[in-house]
Chains A and B, each alone.
Chain A
Amino acid sequence: MLIPHPLLGLRDAQEFTYLGDAALLNRPDGMAEGAAEAFNDYVYLRDNPAGVHRELWFHEQGDRSWLIVTRNTVTHEILGAELARDVALAAKGGAQ
């Protein structure tokens, strides 16, 4: 497979390490009310779609960026890749 790295272009998937569902970015606040419940869902409940999936890949033999790769798990078609850091920052309201 080839992963379209947003900064480096197409790179062979062998350079990457796979983690899984990009929903991991939405880590609950451990100090908040109901944290136990929230963490149970966060740690154990994952979607495993046959189809388009957003997932985390680490460019280990590369620039050490975590990427969010949008991939169709049925066809292996890759629809895009973003720097996870950018996505996480945007989700936090663009805070820097």
Chain B
Amino acid sequence: MGYQFNWSLVLTGEYRDWLLDGFVLTLKISGIAGACALALGTLVAIMRLSRVKPLMWLSLSFTEFFRNTPLLVQIFFWYFGSEAFLPTYVNQWLYRQDFEFAAGTIALTVYSSAFIAEELRSGIFSIPKNQLEASRATGLNFLQAYRYVILPQAFRIVIPPLISQLLNLLKNSSLVMTIGVMELTYQARQVESFTFHGFEAFTVATLLYLAVSLTVSFIITMYNKHFLHQLRY
């Protein structure tokens, strides 16, 4: 084995800065896509639970389509395909922005929101029917019953699986390197091609991903201990 480990190469100077820039961009794209996916996912879940048939079908097709096609294909679709179906002025606006970042964010948002919608829907379904009945019987209307009784319980149940969806999003965000978003994996790859020290570069990247995931997992465990016990019927 002729490989000479050189850790200081990736832990100091320019290459460290590349990796840190990549890490910040990973957090940024995951954060933005995560927030948007939560909003979109909630909307899709509520559409599915509404009694309006077209909304139900739209929500169902959305979920099934985006859950059941590869994320990488979807990323390429938004990146190469958006020109074909978005209005010209939107495209021109996007090109003036950071187009790679925008396409990557959209792909991650849409893909994750399909999973989030399913988690939310099953959370709402897991609340006993008699909770809705009991709240409606006191005179609360449908929206109030959801707002004050059903959703607070559903979110408590759904938060752990929801967080693991957000962790998937963090990990999936590495795929947007394929369209040139300079996030952590992209930067690790760059360091590798400049220095031929891929082992060190990807070890640092791995540890950074792991640090975020483990921190979030730890928070979920604490959350479970403190809040979930209340929900006994």
A and B interact physically: no
Residues of A within 8 A of B (CB): none
Residues of B within 8 A of A (CB): none
